[in-house]
Amino acid sequence: MNLVTRQFLSRRALVRGAGGAAMALPFLDAMRPALAGPAEAGSKALQARRVAVVYVPNGIIMNQWLPQGTGRGFRMARVLKPLERHRSHITQITGLSNPAASGSKGGAHAKASGSFLSAAQPKHTAGADVRAGVTFDQLLAQRFAAETRVPSLQLGCEDSRMVGNCDTGSSCAYTNTLSWKNAETPLAVEVNPRSVFERLFGTMDPSLDAATRRRRELYRKSILDLTRHQTQSLTATLGATDRRKMDEYLTSIREVETRIARAEKEPEVPMGEKPSGIPFEFREYVKLMFDLQVIAFQADLTRVSTMMIGREGSVRTYPEIGVPDPHHPLTHHRNHPDFIEKVTKINEYHVELFAYFIERLEATRDGDGSLLDKSAILYGGALSDGNGHSNDNLPLLLAGHAGGIRGGAHIAAAPKTPVSNLFLTMMGETGSNAASFGDSTGRLEVNV
């Protein structure tokens, strides 16, 4: 039946346009009857949950991260102050460790990020024979694969090469990605917003798969322009609430397209440091990558994403916040007050950028709530004290309310509790019935 004449819309409905262009839709009230009757209010399609990991490298100044007090009366420390207004959506978690990163061979940074989401000790090698473990996000991606167009997104905001030696005889695959499809297959991060956009909104016509160059040329045009006729026809059949949702969704896509196009017109940085399509300003770059995830979640194109704000060993500088020094060397501060202050500023800046992601998820409606209500978003890193390369008491917090996560509390786990316990909890809250994961000893209770 034609999309614009059917009485009810499928959750997988598309609007199509010229050249095989196809655009997914956000969740609309018009989809409810097609998904569930009154007796089926718990339909999985209506209750789709998302999981994301936002990773920051090189450790944290922990005395500026750790909260005061436990439970619901805790006080956020300096680094987390940008999240104070989102307190009710945040669960700060302390006491978790990753013993898989404590092996004697390999660089500390490679072992930390290479084992972070799998709790599996990476093989010490700088060659192609890398080995770690399947990560929890990929187990969820496998679970949702039949229900979404893109099983998972792996995003990054820094150099993503996967070969060579990046840390004391350890492969760059360990420092430059988080997600592993299986023990031998690390998934490279995508750092170019245009490429991410094309992956999300590229044509679904199989006959065009071989014509990659033509497809990319086509999508230099706006996906909204290519699908305008059918979008307008569909919108005319919707109620007032759905028309507003469509307007918000289309506006978000248009803004992202405009920002990508603007970045592609920026002059190239000398020596090819910034590929075309990547915004020159880091703040704009990170926000654009977050917005792409919001759109992907909103249209249910994927339910799983990981994003590395920086890779382990990152030497990015942050002159925009008064820190022109490279990040990683600063973290080896040897208790020098000036270095500690600069790292603290970087830590705060990263949290400030993450707060934007939370705001966007909270502002985006999804069924009877917001995307944040149906998401479990992990923020943090695989090192606590960067000066000492510690894998204990990791800096972690959980945002969102997927599966009934309450938020607004500090959960102080017993020291040395495996971080895999938290991953097992996140898997459970987003639809997995797994009984164990990695070196887990049980689910972590995140509600008080």
Structure tokens at 420: 């895999």
Q: What predicted TM-score, i.e. pTM, was given to this entire model?
A: 0.90
308 and 258 in one domain? no
Of 228, 244, 276, the residue at which a domain comes to its end is 276
Rg, the chain, Cα only: 22
User: How far is Cα 292 from Cα 8, in angstroms, rounded to an integer?
Assistant: 28
For residue 291, the domain's CATH number is 3.40.720
94 and 180 in one domain? yes
DSSP per-residue letters across 294-308: HHHHHTTS-SEEEEE
Of 225, 260, 276, the residue at which a domain comes to its end is 276
Of 251, 276, 301, the residue at which a domain comes to its end is 276
324 and 230 in one domain? no
Tens of pLDDT, residue by residue, the chain (448 residues): 334 444 567 777 788 876 667 788 888 888 876 555 443 444 444 468 999 999 999 999 999 999 999 999 999 999 999 999 999 999 999 999 999 998 778 899 999 999 999 999 999 999 999 999 999 999 999 999 999 999 999 999 997 788 789 999 999 999 999 999 999 999 999 999 999 998 998 744 444 444 554 554 555 567 888 788 888 988 998 988 889 889 989 999 999 989 988 888 876 554 445 556 688 899 999 999 999 999 999 999 999 999 999 999 999 999 999 999 999 999 999 999 999 999 999 999 999 999 999 999 999 999 889 999 999 999 999 999 999 999 999 999 999 999 999 999 999 999 999 999 999 999 999 999 999 999 999 999 999 9
93 and 17 in one domain? no
How many residues are there in the chain? 448
229 and 289 in one domain? no
180 and 155 in one domain? yes
How are beta strands 365-366 and 369-370 bridged, if at all? Answer: antiparallel
223 and 103 in one domain? no
Number of domains in the chain: 2
User: How far is Cα 108 from Cα 102, in angstroms, rounded to an integer?
Assistant: 8
Q: Which domain holds residue 379?
A: 49-191+278-448
311 and 257 in one domain? no
